[in-house]
Amino acid sequence: MRERTDRPTRPGRAGATDRHEPAGPDIAEPVLAIEDLTVTIGTRRGPARAVAGVDWSVRAGQTLALVGESGSGKSLTVLAATGLAPRTARVTGRVRLLGEELTALPEPRRRRLRGRHVGFVFQDPMTSLNPVLTVGRQVTEACEEHLGMTRRQARERAVELLDLVGIPSPRQRVDAYPHQFSGGMRQRVVIAMALSCEPDLLIADEPTTALDVTTQAQIVELIADLRRRLGTAVVWITHDLGVVAGVADTVAVMYGGRIVEQGPVDAVFDAPSHPYTRALLAARPGPGVRDGDLPAIQGSPPSPLDLPAGCAFWPRCPVRGDARCEHELPPLVPVAPGHRVRTFYPLSEDA
């Protein structure tokens, strides 16, 4: 099913790389790499710097989890990286998708790259499908646009995809409308849609938040399974640290528009070095954590309109270092290979 003779520069995708196996030498270029990404949104009350200086990358077959409270800039980071930020946003920094510098490309070229190589699964399946088009049409219209399929070929492909994501009797369902599906089934449709052009990157923005618990588990399993089978790189935005532990290779924790800690999942979970990460992990009541339910952390996250000069977490920080924390932005420093943390006072493992 996956023939890729069209792109010789593709990173190797030797099936599934299990995250517990040591990764090979870093010869493969990341599927998506963002560097110093900053997003400023013009609002009525002035510019809001919603994302600042974010760096991360994700390789073929790997999963990067983006976590953080509501409003920390997770969605905006991936939207801005792929050219989907709101019109009022100003985006700076570098974004490389499959080796191409996206920020330098004219919009039509960027649009085609995005449609052809990136699949998106958004949070709410009840609103992310067009109510007046059949699901079959929506699942594969990108294939008509980017792969030159005819309507008939696209329809066949849609049946295949609906089958792949576990929708029963796909040949009948392909002509149904979104309102004829349940929430979980709709999210399967959205996933089928995201996979339609065999993307190199799948961006899942809280794909299970709007679903009930049983369905959540099914959808998580489905995406993880598809990633293993297709070798797609995945950026997974979630509040659910249980999911992070289960499916991600690397994790980036965001706070106030910046990354405060990032690294391999095991390293970060075993030895959280930022007070915020530690609080997040401590507040984990089990699967299905929703927005902002962090009883262990007093106070609320900063507004992007009014960010403190120093560490954004300082006002809520249980450690409360010193005046430097209040006035100076801590740099992102390594505490272990590949594990970086933005604080002047990294917590030691047994703190």
Binding positions for ligand ATP, rule: CB under 6 A:
41, 43, 48, 50, 68, 70-76, 86, 88, 291, 304
Query: In the set 190, 211, 253, 280, which binds other proteins (CB under 8 A)?
Result: 190
Residue 308: DSSP 8-state: -
Q: Which of the choices other proteins, ligand ATP, Mg ion, none does residue 216 contact, using the CB cut-off of 5 to 8 A by kind?
A: none
Tell me which stretch binds other proteins (CB under 8 A): 28-36, 133-141, 229-237, 287-295: 133-141
Q: What are phi and psi of 336, to 5 degrees?
A: -160, 170
**29 alpha carbon, distance to own chain's centre:** 19
> What residues form DSSP beta bridges with 121?
204
The one-character DSSP state at 172 is H
In this complex, which beta carbon is closest to Mg ion, that of residue 40 or of residue 75? 75
Alpha-carbon torsion, ordered 78, 84, 90, 94, to 10 deg: 50
Q: Cβ distance 260 to 335 under 8 Å? A: no
289 within 8 A of 239, measured Cβ to Cβ: yes
Nearer to Mg ion, 75 or 215 (CB): 75
Minimal distance, residue 162 CB to ligand ATP, in Å:
28
Q: Which parts of this chain interact with Mg ion (CB under 5 A)?
A: 75
- Selected from 29, 55, 145, 163, the binder of other proteins by CB under 8 A is 145
- Judged by CB under 8 A, which of 28, 89, 142, 317 binds other proteins? 142
DSSP state, residue 45 = T
| 128 counts as binding other proteins under rule CB under 8 A | yes
What does 41 interact with, of ligand ATP, Mg ion, other proteins, none (CB < 5 to 8 A by kind)? Answer: ligand ATP
Q: Which of 129, 165, 201, 259 binds other proteins (CB under 8 A)?
A: 129
Select the binding partner of residue 179 from ligand ATP, other proteins, Mg ion, none (C-beta < 5 to 8 A, by kind): other proteins
Q: Return the axis-axis angle of helices 135-147 and 107-117, rounded to nearest 10°.
A: 120
By CB under 8 A, residue 46 contacts other proteins: no
Tokens matching residue 196: 């339609």
Name the closest residue to Mg ion (Cβ): 75
At residue 226, what are phi and psi to the nearest 5 degrees? -65, -40
Measured CA to CA in angstroms, residue 214 lies from 3, 211, 221, 288 at distances of 35, 8, 11, 10
Provide the binding-site residues for other proteins, judged by CB under 8 A: 82, 84, 108, 111-116, 118, 120, 122, 124, 127-133, 138, 141-142, 145-146, 177, 179, 190, 193
